[in-house]
Amino acid sequence: MSMIAPGTVAFDMIGTCFNLNKPKQRLVELGLPTYALQLWFAQTLRDAFALSHAGGYQPLNQMLEAELPRTLKLFNVEIDPERQAHVLSAFNELELETGALEAFQRLTEAGWRLVALTNGGIESTHNLLEKAGALPYFADSVAWRPKGAIVRSCDEIQITKPHQDVYQLLGQNASGEIWMIAAHAWDIAGAIRAGLKTAFITSSEGSYLSAYPQPDVMASGLIEAVNQILGK
């Protein structure tokens, strides 16, 4: 594969760059099985998508809060509001996936621009990147966003990914060819429909969904995806 001219790479954040081990552990501490996190998060996304599709909207953190009692009830677990808040706060403490910083560094050193494109909030995503030491890789000289980071969120237009309008937000910050990297097949499918090049990370969902349009790159992790994009 030959080297291509530098462009723009948009990264999904939650579940792609940042893993969900912290909220998973807090559910396990309450006696829930390890798969309870996957159920909670999947139901949250499902109902956020449904509300958005129906013409309404709620931020992701509010959808997570609304879904948590239902998930707990499925496992016959009852906790007070304070302990629920403790579980929810884990989403403010997410940690980077292995190799994420190296992947960001390789792209920036090769002249690529990085953008965070998330269904989460702008400020919360900014804070996660800052705590992880990753914020400089997403720096922007046009500083209308918090502290100049290129973080674009569905909150801006109150429509969730994978609606095509969310991916169109990238046009305001992109240069050259635009790629989307995500560990969610639905996110990749939305990006493809919006005309982006795509890289699917298999670490979370495993295989890609055959009913969806196929990505340009399939990779086991962020570094492998970046290497394929860079042609290395």
Residue at 3 is within a domain: no
- Domain of residue 224 covers 8-19+96-230
- Rounded CA-CA distance 225/182 in Å is 10
Q: Tell me what the mean pLDDT of segment 87-94 comes to.
A: 98
- Rounded CA-CA distance 18/186 in Å is 17
Q: Are residues 40 and 126 in the same domain?
A: no
Q: Are residues 53 and 163 in the same domain?
A: no
- Pairing label, strands 178-182, 151-153: unpaired
Residue 232: predicted pLDDT: 72
**pLDDT grade, residue 3 (50/70/90)?**
low
Residue 139: predicted pLDDT: 76
Residue at 81 is within a domain: yes
Q: Are residues 107 and 206 in the same domain?
A: yes
- Residue among 104, 117, 121 at smallest CA distance from 171: 117
Q: Tell me what the mean pLDDT of segment 121-149 comes to.
A: 77
Which amino acid, residue 133? Answer: G
Q: Are residues 146 and 164 in the same domain?
A: yes
Q: Is the pLDDT at 143 greater than 50, yes or no?
A: no
Domain stop point among 75, 92, 109 = 92
Q: How many domains does the chain have?
A: 2
**pLDDT grade, residue 149 (50/70/90)?**
low
Q: Are residues 49 and 120 in the same domain?
A: no
Q: Are residues 72 and 61 in the same domain?
A: yes
